[in-house]
Amino acid sequence: MSTTTADPAPVRKHKRDVRWKIVAPVVIAAIIVLAIGVVLIVAVAADSLVFKQVTVVSLCLGIPFILLPLALLCVVPYLLAAVLAIGAGKAYGVTRPVIRSARRFTERVTARTHRTMPRLARPLIALNQRLFRWEHTLVGWQRSSLGAGKDQSHE
């Protein structure tokens, strides 16, 4: 019989994976771009590079500085969704007792209403029956007063 042991710290493993697989490559690329910029500045100051070479290298270095804000703009909606998800989870934790008490209250009201409605409905049903009898009696009196030979197709 084989037993598999689960990782005792999945959160720690997740944080380590995020750090090494997502954050580290971005930081390394940023460090490389900044190092090239510093080398470029030092090379221009020492007069080892010609202006055209500086222009080409600076254009190549400008691409990450243009793409970085765009990448951050693409990440912002995901961060916002994550914050909203965390907030919804916390809001549920806070509102859960209130929702539970409201549900229990409506359950009690429903049970009480279910028990008392037949008692409340009996007088209304009796009143409805009496009114129906009176209506039927009045229609009978009206027909007898109009006469039996007349056409009553309008009723």
CA-CA-CA-CA torsion sign (126, 132, 136, 138): positive
Report the alpha-carbon distance of residue 16 to residue 8 in Å, rounded.
Answer: 14
Q: Are 113 and 107 in contact (CB under 8 A)?
A: no
Mean pLDDT for the stretch of residues 22-41: 84
- Each residue of 75-119: pLDDT tens digit? 888 889 989 988 888 888 888 888 899 899 999 988 888 888 888
43 Cβ partners below 8 Å, 6+ apart?
Answer: 49, 54
45, HSE (Cβ side, Cα atoms, 13 Å) = 6
Q: Which one-letter DSSP state was computed for residue 4?
A: P
User: Does pTM top 0.75 for this prediction?
Assistant: no
Report the alpha-carbon distance of residue 154 to residue 98 in Å, rounded.
Answer: 60
Report the alpha-carbon distance of residue 61 to residue 71 in Å, rounded.
Answer: 16
pLDDT of residue 145: 75
User: How many CB atoms sit inside 10 A of residue 33's CB?
Assistant: 17
Report the alpha-carbon distance of residue 122 to residue 116 in Å, rounded.
Answer: 10
Residue type, 116: T
Residue type, 123: P
Report the alpha-carbon distance of residue 121 to residue 132 in Å, rounded.
Answer: 16
Q: Are 143 and 152 in contact (CB under 8 A)?
A: yes
Q: How confident is the model at residue 41 (pLDDT cuts 50, 70, 90)?
A: confident
* Residue boundaries of the structural domains of the chain: 78-143
